[in-house]
Structure 1
Amino acid sequence: MTVPLLKIGAVLSTMAMVTNWMSQTLPSLVGLNGTAVSRAGTSEKITLFQSPDEGWQVFTSAQAPDGKCLCTAVIPVQGSCSRDLRSLQLRQLLEKVQNISQSMEVLDLRTFRDLQYVRNTEAQIRALDSRLRGASEGHRALSARSFQDLKEKMRELLPLLPVLEQYKADSRLIVHLKDEVRNLSGILLEIQEEMGAYDYEELQQRVLLLEARLHACLQKLGCGKLTGVSNPVTVRASGSRFGSWMTDTMTPSADTRVWYMDGYFKGRRVLEFRSLGDFVSGQNFVQHLLPHPWAGTGHVVFNGSLYYNKFQSNVAVRYHFRSRSVLVQRTIAGAGYNNTFPYSWGGFSDIDFMVDENGLWVVYTTNQNAGNIVVSRVDPQTLEVLRSWDTGYPKRSAGESFMICGVLYVTNSHLAGAKIYFAYHTNTSSYEYTDIPFHNQYSHISMLDYNPRERVLYTWNNGHQVIYNVTLFHLIDTAGEL
């Protein structure tokens, strides 16, 4: 019995040594001592770059044959440094570091749990080791009862074996993770040197500077050619089949009031909501009662005033919200009214006010123009027509129209399947046929206006208030500073 007992003693001594090593060395490797980087059950993530949806998207560009730079601005989609290869490498490396950190956290939690178990059994191991040494020295005096007690103690310690096996696996994992971190550190240093040894704060300042330049670029690139319209975003479903809603096209961005005018004729009630959120909830609004009823849905709010067509007339009215009074009325000479030259959907839509980056416009037609759309620049103070253009497009064939950057865009229908079909350029007095898809979700559009401040289209679609984002194509001179 001497040899087996000596072997058992040697095994238990080795186990005691392993226990001592694990209680002193392993915790420092996995973060269980006082210098732990992260505690079990917690996770600290470091994000160096924002996700594409949180920042600014870099503009795509190409070189034209005449040497000019062609830029496309997608509004309002945003992103930051998303196309910088080195930034992409850094993000990938940071993701890898985060994965390693998560692995370390799992290892931390597991070793902490198992270490507690080993510590709880350490006293039993030492007691058993002492009894085995005594039995080995005086084995002749070892009784059957004592030997049975030793076997029971050994059986109690058997669950420790898989724990020790797990520790062996964890120690190999620690070596692997250390190698991973060492390799990543080297790669990060190389990228940092390649980027000019910028630290995180410097990189952040460069990103902020880029954002500021892109903001300034957007201001310079405010005008462009319409190349696409997004899918519709339904803001609210309310009111009758026909109506109009809008925000002011020329106020600071902090002014988020919404105006709401239900119906297309004889209406006088205008609701002013404090914010878009209030409009969605239908709360916090004041009512304006117009002195003259309106016709159609072609109204706009511009610099604190409502511009609309007076019912059963070709009179333009400017109503000032703050003073609750009409500041000016003026007849639009020769303009048809009372469903003489409406859009294809009817609704007394003979006269349609619009606002773009260049100011206030009005769209209508006359007998002299044979029912073709006339677009006129209007003085917002006096309502005097400054200049007019005959587009040659029959108004009754148009679903709706809107102005962007001095260009009148016309849809070919107010029903489902419509597209933006025609564009008239006032700066060159020329037109072109277009083929821009336009998703008419609720099948009956009775109001469509562009807001240059927000760069979106406002739509009343069969009792739904809907907005669309737009994509504009810009042409800039490379000699100009962006």
Structure 2
Amino acid sequence: MGPRTPLLALFLLSWLRPLQGQQQHLVEYMERRLAALEERLAQCQDQSSRHAAELRDFKNKMLPLLEVAEKEREALRTEADTISGRVDRLEREVDYLETQNPALPCVEVDDKVTGGPGIKGKGRRNEKYDMLTDCGYTISQVRSMKILKRFGGPAGLWTKDPMGPTEKIYVLDGTQNDTAFIFPRLRDFTLAMAARKASRVRVPFPWVGTGQLVYGGFLYYARRPPGGPGGGGELENTLQLIKFHLANRTVVDSSVFPAEGLIPPYGLTADTYIDLAADEEGLWAVYATREDDRHLCLAKLDPQTLDTEQQWDTPCPRENAEAAFVICGTLYVVYNTRPASRARIQCSFDASGTLTPERAALPYFPRRYGAHASLRYNPRERQLYAWDDGYQIVYKLEMRKKEEEV
């Protein structure tokens, strides 16, 4: 060993002592951290065990309650099924009793029609109607219904053009509005964002009620002229019919409806004063006046000129009526209650006198408790387009010959 060896040993010893001290501090630090982690882990285990015990206790408490709730639900379901069966049986019994003792339908036949001279500007009154077509069908029953969607407010109208070549859907929301929605086809109307698919047509004068009609490419509707019903003035009791060209978006004709003292024809639909309808024979109008405020009136209109060709005083009462439509020259009036219940065709009036009281069916609508704001018959499809509290519904009709027995 040389003279430098002691110096080297001293140097190494001086360097190792601080290093050993640092290692000792590091070991002590790691031991403290591990002890803290072990303590936290023990706390987590204790909390987890406590939560698991609480969850078991809660589960043990809830299981009996769930069993009781399930038993009550089954009991309620059984009770509901029993009540439904009783209601079905009661309805069948009522239908059977009505079949055995049918109510006299409000059908006016030939021997009750009183002839008279024509009234200028108002058309012939209470004369037998001469059919323009060979249509001789009447309703046998309202077979089924399909709820398509909910669009708009509680009152409105949706329909197709029975004379048009396209499948367009026309929607007129509200009882006092001036904008109609037109959808290219039924599928577009049923979409969730249907309004984006629709074109909008604005009419120059707002319509009144839900009596509008799309027929042959035109929108027919009633407007309230200044001083019309509810407005005071000379035209207090009159309404004006508008014929609006949907493609050109222009008014092509208008006429003051030749009836004074107009009142709502339907006791349950107070906003409609003239309800326009179309069938295989053409254009019709359902209305009522103060002269006979208990019954509905029917008028046959010329779709070209809006002239009134014939008028009839029907025996169908206004009370509890909610809507009406015409098929093959026969007016069918739908009645309901307030609050709304199950609607029923309770009165019919055949302007031609072909349908006799014994052959008139008085069917219920499918089981749905609502109120019809409007009903539109499509003669091509033999379907009714209904607006029920904002829901758009299609009813399929089963038909038979007027001469057949019920």
Aligning the two structures, in what range does the TM-score lie when normalised by the shorter sequence?
0.5 to 0.7
Q: Which amino acid aligns with 2:162?
A: T
Look up the match of 1:389.
312
| Equivalent residue in structure 2 for 1:288, among 180, 184, 201 | 201
| Equivalent residue in structure 1 for 2:301, among 361, 378, 389 | 378
Look up the match of 1:453.
380
Structure 1 position 372, deviation (Å): 1.7
| Equivalent residue in structure 2 for 1:331, among 256, 261, 273 | 256
Aligned to 1:277, what secondary structure does the other structure show? helix
Measure, in 1, the Cα distance between the counterparts of 2:289 and 2:186.
37
Contact 1:442/1:461, CA 8 A, preserved across alignment? no
In structure 2, the CA distance between the partners of 1:431 and 1:240, relative to structure 1 (3 Å rule), is farther
Look up the match of 1:470.
397
Q: Which amino acid aligns with 1:362?
A: A
| Equivalent residue in structure 2 for 1:437, among 364, 387, 390 | 364
In structure 2, the CA distance between the partners of 1:431 and 1:372, relative to structure 1 (3 Å rule), is farther
Q: Deviations over 1:108-155 (max 9, x none)?
A: xxxxxxxxxxxxxxxxxxxxxxxxxxxxxxxxxxxxxxxxxxxxxxxx
Measure, in 2, the Cα distance between the counterparts of 1:361 and 1:367.
20
Q: Deviations over 1:230-279 (max 9, x none)?
A: 22201121111111011001123xx00011111112x0010111111111
Contact 2:141/2:361, CA 8 A, preserved across alignment? no
* Consecutive unaligned residues in structure 2, runs of 5 or more: 1-132, 229-237
Look up the match of 1:355.
278
In structure 2, the CA distance between the partners of 1:371 and 1:350, relative to structure 1 (3 Å rule), is farther
Counterpart mapping for 1:49-198 below 5 A = none
Q: Deviations over 1:414-470 (max 9, x none)?
A: 632221111101001877474311136251211112111211001000110001010
Q: Which amino acid aligns with 1:274?
A: P
Measure, in 1, the Cα distance between the counterparts of 2:147 and 2:260.
34
Measure, in 2, the Cα distance between the counterparts of 1:395 and 1:475.
25
Measure, in 1, the Cα distance between the counterparts of 2:330 and 2:209.
22
Measure, in 1, the Cα distance between the counterparts of 2:184 and 2:388.
23
In structure 2, the CA distance between the partners of 1:430 and 1:333, relative to structure 1 (3 Å rule), is farther
In structure 2, the CA distance between the partners of 1:273 and 1:287, relative to structure 1 (3 Å rule), is same
Contact 1:400/1:413, CA 8 A, preserved across alignment? no
Q: Deviations over 1:275-303 (max 9, x none)?
A: 11111111422111110001111111000
Measure, in 2, the Cα distance between the counterparts of 1:243 and 1:440.
21
Contact 2:343/2:369, CA 8 A, preserved across alignment? no
Q: Deviations over 1:290-324 (max 9, x none)?
A: 10001111111000001111034511111110110
| Equivalent residue in structure 1 for 2:245, among 320, 326, 330 | 320
Look up the match of 2:184.
274
Q: Does 1:400 align with 2:323?
A: yes
Q: Which amino acid aligns with 2:219?
A: L
Higher deviation after alignment, 430-439 or 225-234: 430-439
Measure, in 2, the Cα distance between the counterparts of 1:466 and 1:344.
22
| Equivalent residue in structure 2 for 1:428, among 328, 353, 364 | 353
Look up the match of 2:95.
none
| Superposition CA RMSD, Å | 2.2
Measure, in 2, the Cα distance between the counterparts of 1:305 and 1:377.
17
Aligned to 1:373, what secondary structure does the other structure show? strand
Aligned to 1:399, what secondary structure does the other structure show? strand
Matched pairs, number: 253
Contact 1:307/1:319, CA 8 A, preserved across alignment? yes
In structure 2, the CA distance between the partners of 1:437 and 1:304, relative to structure 1 (3 Å rule), is same
Look up the match of 1:240.
153
Measure, in 1, the Cα distance between the counterparts of 2:325 and 2:278.
8
Q: Which amino acid aligns with 2:213?
A: V
Look up the match of 1:365.
288
Contact 1:341/1:396, CA 8 A, preserved across alignment? no
Larger RCO: 1 or 2 (CA < 8 Å, sep 6+)? 2
| Equivalent residue in structure 2 for 1:418, among 343, 359, 363 | 343
In structure 2, the CA distance between the partners of 1:426 and 1:264, relative to structure 1 (3 Å rule), is same
Measure, in 2, the Cα distance between the counterparts of 1:335 and 1:469.
36
Measure, in 1, the Cα distance between the counterparts of 2:264 and 2:212.
17
Contact 1:299/1:352, CA 8 A, preserved across alignment? yes
Contact 1:238/1:464, CA 8 A, preserved across alignment? yes
Measure, in 2, the Cα distance between the counterparts of 1:251 and 1:404.
18
Look up the match of 2:222.
309
Q: Which amino acid aligns with 1:462?
A: D
In structure 2, the CA distance between the partners of 1:335 and 1:261, relative to structure 1 (3 Å rule), is farther
Contact 1:335/1:365, CA 8 A, preserved across alignment? no
Q: Deviations over 1:207-247 (max 9, x none)?
A: xxxxxxxxxxxxx9854111100222011211111110110
Aligned to 1:438, what secondary structure does the other structure show? strand
Q: Deviations over 1:370-402 (max 9, x none)?
A: 442111110001100000111022224312111
The structure richer in helix per residue is 1
Contact 1:416/1:439, CA 8 A, preserved across alignment? no
The structure richer in strand per residue is 2
Look up the match of 1:7.
none
TM-score in terms of structure 1 length: 0.50
Measure, in 1, the Cα distance between the counterparts of 2:402 and 2:151.
40
| Equivalent residue in structure 2 for 1:251, among 142, 164, 169 | 164
Measure, in 1, the Cα distance between the counterparts of 2:223 and 2:350.
28
Higher deviation after alignment, 391-400 or 405-414: 391-400
Measure, in 1, the Cα distance between the counterparts of 2:273 and 2:361.
24
Aligned to 2:368, what secondary structure does the other structure show? coil
Contact 2:279/2:329, CA 8 A, preserved across alignment? yes
Aligned to 1:418, what secondary structure does the other structure show? strand
Contact 2:342/2:368, CA 8 A, preserved across alignment? no
Identity %: 29
